[in-house]
Structures are given as structure tokens and as C-alpha cells.
């Protein structure tokens, strides 16, 4: 976490030039949320549990795919993936008395990983093998846009991120994105991906990285149950046409111009229509307080990460 | 792999014991047999859950709900309520932070 990574902000400013779907999502959801998280570096106290769990899950899938591409059998690949997982989580000891830790801990992680590979053992989705014989998993991307901030025209904006996996399904190419959730994988879950900032960006990025026709994103959802730990899996397909992607890129320019205006004014307005989304914004209690006392609540209820540990789209996985 | 090997872990404590009682090096060299025991245990647990343990426990504690049937249908929201006429609103006043100059101006390279 402390590796020297370039700042995503233009030096001496609060203007971000390197964007990923997470930071752009914050900006679009609520500029004040973006300010608290991306600029001030505040995170909820249980955020590290979610990040660790998700990160280990992704790494396990990554390990497994590489092992399979190297010719290992399913059982051997699963065994080795589990071995590496146990080594990584040896000292991970989340507080299981918290909601986050109760759902996401070493036990539920090991169960999820075994369940995942068993569930997709005879999968019709086949991981693409790249020209260098490596499987198309955890593909990092960074590319420059053809526009720049109004007042910094020599620093083009960049778009960055990581594609979990690229697969063929019935001869069509899809980006696969893994998501864990504690909510039901029902109609509401499926509908959230169209329109979706992340899925359009990932389809676009997939086309750029693979130089091929990507149909969209296949979201692999894993629902983690609480009592008698249960895992359920579902796939959702988010298709994106070139016209939809072009529209999204055009809107991106408007959104980034807005981000520049906020940064220049050093004012990130609150979008009070987003506070109840996704189970409620983590900063809702802070924003509901009088402006003069918000900092007190931020400092007591959140952790302010040092700059080197804050979310950075330029950091490699 | 469906048979439970002898000595398989029986609950959370066993997995945590494996993690806490072994060094990184020992974990990195854990015998395949031990890894198979962990995997077999997870699979056995899954089979037990899928056999309907939770369904049994819910009996007699409340109304029976067919979750699968509910999930197959789009859920209806609350019935619409006729809107009440709004009272007269005060005139809007400018806020203390005027929009910055130059905002939302597009520039193409």
C-alpha cells in the first residue's frame, strides 16, 4: 500500500486527471462524497474488511485461472489456490462482532472460494488466452483521452482500471466482473448494471485492451448469506453498443469539466438525492449535521488515510 | 471427494486453528491431504445447507414465504397516493457560493 505511486491529481491542485470507475462513480453519485473520500481520504472504519475480502476473492480467481492455463487439473488448481489463500490470510483477523466482519472473514472467504470454483466447474465461459499464452485475467489498463482540463490543456485526462477477466461465451467476447454482495441476486440486482458507469467504462476498456469486439460485461454475483453461511451465484449481462459507449464518453467530458470547476472553486456540492442509495451513503450522518461540526464527526467516525494509502486509480493491483 | 476424510475440520475453530497454529512456511507447504480435508469440509457444509437446514428452523416461527416464487416476480411498490397541493414557497435566494467563472466550458484539443 505504501509503494510510491504517482498522484492521480495534477501537482499543486485538487484536480484529478487519472480516473477509474470508482472515483468517477463517487463524483457522479455525489461531489461531496467524492470530496470526502478521494480528496480528504476518509474511509469508514469497516471499509478495510470489504476491500480485503474482495481483494482476496479476486486474487484467488486470478491464481486459479493462471494455474488452469498452465495445464493444472481442476483439483490441483483448486488445492494450490487454497494453499496460497491460506498463506495470505494467515494473520487476517477481522472483528466478527461487526456486521462487515460477520459477513466477511477467513471462514466465509474460504467457503466462498471453494463454492465459486465448484459452481463454475463446467462453465461455458472460457477465459481468453492472450498471444503471450497468459490467460486474460486481471488486465490493468491506462489510456489517455483526447481532451484535457480547461486550465491545464497539456495534461490530458487518463482512464484507468482493471478488468477481472475476458471470456468467450457462445463465441462472443465479454469482460467478466466479480461482485460480492449481501443482498439478494434478484431483479433489482440485475437492473443496476444498465445503465452503469462501471460497465460502460469496462466495455470500452475491453475493446481498447483486447482490440476486439466486446459485447459487454458479464457480472458474476456472489451473494453471501449471514446465518448458516450460504453462497448463491448469478450472472447478469450488461450489453453496450458503440453508440451507448460514444454517448458515455461524451458525457464523461461534461462530468470531468464539472470536476474541474469543483476543484477550482474548492467546493464540491452535496447531491442530497443520493444519500439513500445503495443502503445509504456512509457519510449520510456527517452531511446531516450542521456544516460547522461535520469535521468533528468525520474525525471521530471515520479513518483519514495518509495520502499514500488513499484510493489511487494509478496503483497497480 | 464426496466422502469426508477422517480428521476433517468440524467447525470454524478448526480452520482458524490451521491458520493460527501454522507458520507461513508451514501453510505454504501444507500437505495436499490437509488441503483436501478443508475442501471436503466446505463441500460437506454446502450439501448440508442445500439440504434445507434453514427451512427446518423457520418452521412454526412465522408465516411461510415462498422466496423463490417471490423472486420470480417483479415486486410492486406501494400504491400511489394522490399528491396534496403544495403551500406557497418562499422566493429562492442566492447561496453564498456563486458558481465559479469558466465552469462547464468545453475545450477541445
Residue B100 lies in a domain: no
Chain B residues whose beta carbon lies within 8 Å of the beta carbon of residue A254: 104, 106
Chain A residues whose beta carbon lies within 8 Å of the beta carbon of residue B106: 147, 150, 253-254, 257
Residue B75 lies in a domain: no
Distance from CA of A80 to the nearest CA of B (A): 9
Domain coverage including residue B17 = 1-57
Distance CA A270, CA A35 (A): 10
ipTM (interface pTM): 0.86
Residue B80 lies in a domain: no
Residue B102 lies in a domain: no
In this structure, are residues A17 and A10 in contact, taking their beta carbons and an 8 Å threshold?
Answer: yes
SS3 of A79-126? HHHHHHHHHHHCCCCCCCCCHHHHHCCHHHHHHHHHHHHHHCCCCCCE
From A226, which residue of chain B is nearest by alpha-carbon distance?
Answer: B54
Distance CA B4, CA B44 (A): 7
List, in sequence order, every residue forming a beta bridge with A142; answer none if it has no partner.
A160
Task: Give residue A157's Cα distance to chain centre.
Answer: 20
Q: Which three cell numbers stand for residue A300?
A: 471521530
Residue B92 lies in a domain: no
Distance from CA of B42 to the nearest CA of A (A): 6
Residue B107 lies in a domain: no
List of domains in chain A? 125-240 (3.90.320.10)
E strand or H helix at A217: strand A214-224
- Nearest CB partner across the interface for A147, out of B53, B105, B109: B109
Number of domains in chain B: 1
Residues whose CB falls within 8 Å of the CB of residue A14, separated by 6 or more in sequence, listed in order: A39, A263, A266
Chain A residues whose beta carbon lies within 8 Å of the beta carbon of residue B41: none
The whole-model pTM stands at 0.82
Residue B106 lies in a domain: no
E strand or H helix at A142: strand A137-144
Task: Residue window 115-154, chain A: list those with CB within 8 Å of chain B.
Answer: 115, 118, 146-148, 150-151, 153
Per-residue pLDDT of chain A (317 residues; tens, 9 = 90+): 456 899 999 999 999 999 999 999 999 999 999 999 999 999 998 888 999 999 999 999 999 999 999 999 999 999 999 999 999 999 999 998 998 898 899 989 999 999 999 999 999 999 999 999 999 999 999 999 999 999 999 999 999 999 999 999 999 999 999 999 988 999 999 999 999 999 999 999 999 999 999 999 999 999 987 666 678 999 999 999 999 999 999 999 999 999 999 999 999 999 999 999 878 999 999 999 999 999 999 999 999 999 999 999 999 87
Distance CA A34, CA B105 (A): 21
Amino acid at each position: 500500500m505504501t509503494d510510491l505511486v504517482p498522484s492521480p491529481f495534477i501537482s499543486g491542485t485538487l484536480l484529478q486527471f487519472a480516473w477509474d470507475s470508482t472515483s468517477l462513480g463517487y463524483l457522479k453519485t455525489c461531489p461531496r462524497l467524492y470530496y470526502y473520500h478521494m480528496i480528504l481520504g476518509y474511509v469508514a472504519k469497516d471499509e478495510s474488511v470489504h476491500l480485503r475480502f474482495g481483494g482476496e476473492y479476486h486474487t484467488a480467481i486470478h491464481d486459479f485461472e493462471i494455474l488452469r492455463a498452465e495445464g493444472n487439473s481442476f483439483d490441483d488448481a483448486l488445492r494450490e489456490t487454497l494453499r496460497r489463500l491460506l498463506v495470505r490470510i494467515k494473520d487476517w483477523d477481522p472483528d466478527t462482532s461487526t456486521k462487515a466482519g460477520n459477513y466477511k472473514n477467513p471462514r466465509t472467504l474460504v467457503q466462498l472460494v471453494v463454492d465459486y470454483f465448484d459452481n463454475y466447474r463446467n462453465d461455458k465461459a472460457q477465459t481468453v488466452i492472450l498471444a503471450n499464452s497468459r490467460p486474460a485475467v486481471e488486465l490493468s489498463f491506462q489510456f489517455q483521452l483526447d481532451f484535457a482540463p480547461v486550465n491545464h490543456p497539456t495534461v490530458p485526462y487518463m482512464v484507468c482500471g482493471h478488468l477481472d477477466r475476458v471470456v468467450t461465451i457462445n463465441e462472443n467476447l465479454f469482460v467478466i466482473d466479480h461482485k460480492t454482495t449481501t443482498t439478494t441476486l434478484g431483479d433489482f440486482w440485475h437492473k443496476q448494471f444498465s445503465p452503469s458507469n462501471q460497465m460502460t467504462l469496462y466495455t470500452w476498456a475491453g475493446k481498447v485492451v483486447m482490440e476486439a469486439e466486446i459485447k459487454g460485461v458479464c457480472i458474476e454475483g456472489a451473494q453471501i448469506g449471514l446465518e448458516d453461511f450460504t453462497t448463491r451465484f448469478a450472472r447478469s449481462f450488461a450489453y453496450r453498443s458503440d453508440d451507448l459507449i460514444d454517448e458515455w464518453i461524451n458525457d464523461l467530458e461534461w462530468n470531468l469539466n464539472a470536476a474541474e470547476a469543483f476543484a477550482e472553486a474548492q467546493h464540491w456540492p452535496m447531491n442530497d438525492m443520493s444519500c439513500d442509495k445503495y443502503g445509504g451513503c456512509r457519510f449520510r450522518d456527517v452531511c446531516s449535521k450542521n456544516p460547522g461540526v461535520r469535521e468533528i464527526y468525520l474525525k471521530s467516525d471515520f479513518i483519514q488515510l495518509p495520502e499514500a494509502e488513499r484510493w489511487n486509480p494509478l496503483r497497480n493491483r | 471427494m464426496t466422502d469426508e476424510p477422517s480428521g476433517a475440520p468440524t467447525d470454524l475453530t478448526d480452520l482458524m486453528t490451521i491458520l493460527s497454529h501454522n507458520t507461513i512456511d508451514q501453510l505454504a507447504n501444507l500437505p495436499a491431504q490437509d488441503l483436501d480435508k478443508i475442501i471436503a469440509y466446505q463441500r460437506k457444509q454446502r450439501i448440508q445447507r442445500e439440504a434445507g437446514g434453514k427451512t427446518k428452523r423457520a418452521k412454526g416461527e412465522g408465516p411461510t414465504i415462498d422466496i423463490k416464487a417471490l423472486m420470480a416476480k417483479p415486486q410492486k411498490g406501494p400504491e400511489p397516493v394522490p399528491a396534496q397541493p403544495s403551500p406557497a414557497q418562499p422566493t429562492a435566494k442566492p447561496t453564498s457560493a456563486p458558481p465559479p467563472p469558466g465552469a462547464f466550458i468545453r475545450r477541445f484539443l
